[in-house]
Structure 1
Amino acid sequence: MLAVHCGPEVTFTGTQQPASYRSSDWAERGFCPTCGTHLFYHLLPANEYILPAGLFEPGSGFVMNSQIFIDQKPGYYDFANQTPTMTGEQVFAQFTKGDDQ
């Protein structure tokens, strides 16, 4: 999934708020309660929201600057631009650090 790291300052507007599911002690997933579309991934210890890039208007100015979960990427494709990469283990280590680390 191409995603945008949005930090803690995420708000949802409209007549219907996203539903959420606490998938672990450190994360919750948000989705549309009507159709089930994935809307966000929230890393709780870091209060980091990650939203699918497809939720934003074209031309929003995002630049791909990293690739995560690279160890789960299918071997039959690569992105043309070179970016820093992280495995799933490295991602969880970075975003689940406590304030004292």
Structure 2
Amino acid sequence: MHTGSCLCGSVAFRIDGELSPPSACHCGQCRRQSGHVWSSTSTHENNLSFAASDTLGWFRASDIAKRGFCSNCGSFLFWKHNDEDTISISMGALNAPTGLTLARHIFVADKGDYYDITDDLPQEA
């Protein structure tokens, strides 16, 4: 079981189930919304429950997915593909210890020009 929340605590959640190895997303949308790289894990959407969600908002950033955030503090919390039964959850929103280790970088072809990826983890274009 894992727990987490947004910065102000108005969105608080619990995950009862397995979490995927985290990835770091370098796509332009994640960089714009998070301010840099967005790291996330994922789980089956039925594993996610909320203790508080009054300020949970959703933004449809594309035709294929939506992004969940706290409308009070602005924390970027979730990413949900329209046609999948999984949900991505911000690593930064999870309470420690997570027991997880970053496994890969995704959308590296779109990464910012102001940094380099210097670890040996797999990189997907």
Taking structure 1 as the reference length, the TM-score comes to 0.69
CA RMSD in angstroms comes to: 2.0
Q: Of the candidates 17, 30, 41, which is equivalent to residue 4 of structure 1? A: 41
Aligned-partner residue type, residue 60 of structure 2: R
The equivalent of 1:20 in structure 2 is 58
1:2-81 matches, within 5 Å, as 2-8=39-45, 9-14=47-52, 16-75=54-113, 76-80=115-119
Larger Rg: 1
What are structure 2's unaligned runs of at least 5 residues? 1-37
Q: Deviation per CA, 1:8-45, whole angstroms, max 9, x where unpaired?
A: 23222226251112233320111112122211111121
Q: CA deviation at 1:73?
A: 2.2
Output one character per residue of 1:41-76: Cα deviation in whole Å (capped at 9) or x when no partner: 111212321121111122210111121111122353
Task: Compute the TM-score of the two structures, normalised by the length of structure 2.
Answer: 0.58
Question: CA 1:46/1:67 → structure 2, altered by over 3 Å: closer, same or farther?
Answer: same
Q: Runs of 4+ in structure 1 displaced over 3 angstroms?
A: none
Equivalent pairs counted in the alignment come to: 86
Are the structure 2 counterparts of residues 42 and 67 from structure 1 closer, same or farther at C-alpha, using a change threshold of 3 Å?
A: same
Unpaired stretches in structure 1, ≥5 consecutive residues: 88-101
